[in-house]
Amino acid sequence: MKNKKVFIAFAVVIVIIIDAISLFTQSPKWSQKSFEAVVQETVIQSNGETRLIVERTTEIYGDPINSLGISKDTKLLDIDGKNISSKDIPSGSSVKVTVKDAFTEETPFYYPVVYEIKVISSSK
């Protein structure tokens, strides 16, 4: 009986250790989702916020049109991977967008956190 309790306790400890290892080794990119899109226009709102209006060419959400907020933390990259500004992305350019994979029911409109926008092909 005592051996059975020791075995069960040992098994529980092993399961906890395996769970902890898998949690710490999980990729930090687990909450990211990427899609390709075509830039429709760049909009600068009255409050100074820059938004990129894109039409997705890969389906990950119901509506293919996205309004992407460009924050100071958003990386904007050209074809070669060099940093650019939102003004350097012309309408009609194909881009790869990496966003946070999250949705809250309380938010009526989904404006994703944009991590990166990389130009795949330019219309210039």
- pLDDT tens-digit map of 65-91: 678 888 888 899 988 889 998 888 888
What pLDDT was estimated at residue 70? 86
User: Alpha helices, DSSP H only, in the chain?
Assistant: 2-24
Model pLDDT, residue 75: 92
Q: Which regions of the chain are under pLDDT 50?
A: 105-108
For the domain 32-121, what is the CATH code?
2.40.50.140
| pLDDT of amino acid 35 | 83
Strand blocks (E) in the chain: 32-44, 50-56, 65-70, 75-77, 94-100, 114-121
Amino acid 107: pLDDT:
47
pTM for the full predicted model: 0.65
State the pLDDT at residue 47: 85
DSSP structure class, residue 22 = H
Instruction: Look at residue 118 in the predicted model and tell me its pLDDT.
Output: 92
Question: Letter for the amino acid at 75?
Answer: K
